[in-house]
Chains A and B, each alone.
Chain A
Amino acid sequence: MTSAAPDRPMIDIPVIETERLRLRAPAERDLDAWIAFNRTERTRFVGGPQSPNAIWRGLATYLGHWALRGYGMWAVDLKADDTLCGMVGPWCPGGWPEPEIGWTLLASAEGRGIAREAAEASRAWVYGTLDWTTAISLIDPENTRSITLAERMGARHDGDFTHDEFGFMRIYRHPGPEAIDPAGRLIEGAA
């Protein structure tokens, strides 16, 4: 009457490798790092601190997002030593104005261009594999690091969005697929 439960992950999330990084499905082993992240002030731009239970549910929602949308956030590991750097990827939960490329970095991963490498790989994937014609990133106006990254990627401030729960955010619009090379980088002179 019942087919047996499998031993392997039950969702087929693609894995992307870049020069230094591996983008793979979020997993339970990421929970501790995520809980630790939540104890820092770094959460102020992504909804504030949460309980461990809520973080677990958030991790589950990352996975469910893949099944509901066909894309979602990857956990980003440094290939050299498998350490978790953060969560990066295309993101459009209910209530979002349009699909975005999102990124949240752990403090340990900052300052080495890791967010950019992962975000550019995500951008290449949504343009090349999903055929998106445009992409945005939603950023808190006080999150200057993220704004700098968006601008380095060629994105430009293109209106604002106020979320019922998360508040006011700027919309940064990325250059379209025609201005992006297969690695996700801005083609010089294209934007």
Chain B
Amino acid sequence: MTDQPATVTLSDTPVIETERLILRAPVAGDWPFWASFFTSDRARFIGGEDNREKAWRAFGHVIGHWVLRGCGNFIITLKTDSRPVGEAGPWYPDGWPEREIGWSLWDPAIEGTGIAAEAAIATRAHAYTALGWPSAVSYVAHGNDRSARLAERLGCTLDPAAATPRGEPCHVWRHPSPAALAA
């Protein structure tokens, strides 16, 4: 009785296809995958902790971001087996100084395969074209070396002058502009 049939879902959300991935909006069925990630040590850089109630509310707001903003984080699924393995894409909640391209890999088994880069590049292109974003940054926690390396690989440069969410310390990686990417 806790979960009704999924009669209320996000509708008409975009789907992005890349070489190896289908990127789509979150659905209720992603919850167990998100919960495993958020309550694990892998989520320490994005405020995760071993608390399923907070994990539930956090996932709820990942979905709600789509409704409030008309865009949001895409769930990364593998074409081979449709499994959700992470998230990437536009992220601009209240209080964020700038529009962000975010990413998290939920499944450690796919680290080092370039899947996060593939997803981030595709969702950045979506933000620049379909959403018309004029610029984007990625906020990366101090010590999150993997994400910093990915930001570099995406052509980002550190912007030490940029504001950070809630004024808390983190690195701001600035993405190439739409014009620079198109050149």
Contact = CB atoms under 8 A, between A and B. Distances in A.
Interface in A49-87: 51-53, 55-72
Interface string A116-132: 00000000000000101
A93 B1 contact: no
Contacts, number: 147
Nearest to A6: B12
A10 B31 contact: no
A5 B62 CA distance: 17
A10 to B, nearest CB: 5
Contacts of A132: 1
Contact of B70 (A5, A52, A93): A5
A1 B17 contact: yes
Nearest to A3: B14
Interface size class of A (residues with CB under 8 A): 35 or more
A23 B133 CA distance: 34
Nearest to A35: B94
Interface stretch (A94-102, A139-147, A149-157, A175-183): A94-102
Contacts of B64: 59-64
Interface size class of B (residues with CB under 8 A): 35 or more
Q: Is the interface of A mostly helix, strand, loop or mixed?
A: loop
A159 interface: no
A98 B1 CA distance: 9
Nearest to B15: A3
B73 to A, nearest CB: 12
B2 A98 contact: yes
Tell me which of A10, A92, A98 has the highest count of chain B C-beta atoms within 10 A of its own C-beta.
A10
A133 interface: yes
A93 B8 contact: no
Contacts of B70: 5-7, 10
A132 B1 CA distance: 7
B68 to A, nearest CB: 5
Nearest to B70: A5
Contact of A68 (B15, B63, B125): B63
Contact of B59 (A7, A64, A130): A64
For the complex of A and B, the 10 pairs showing the least CB-CB separation, nearest first, are: A94-B56, A60-B64, A64-B60, A70-B4, A56-B94, A95-B53, A53-B95, A64-B63, A63-B64, A60-B61
Interface of B: 1-17, 25-28, 31, 51-53, 55-57, 59-68, 70-71, 93-95, 125-126, 129-131, 166
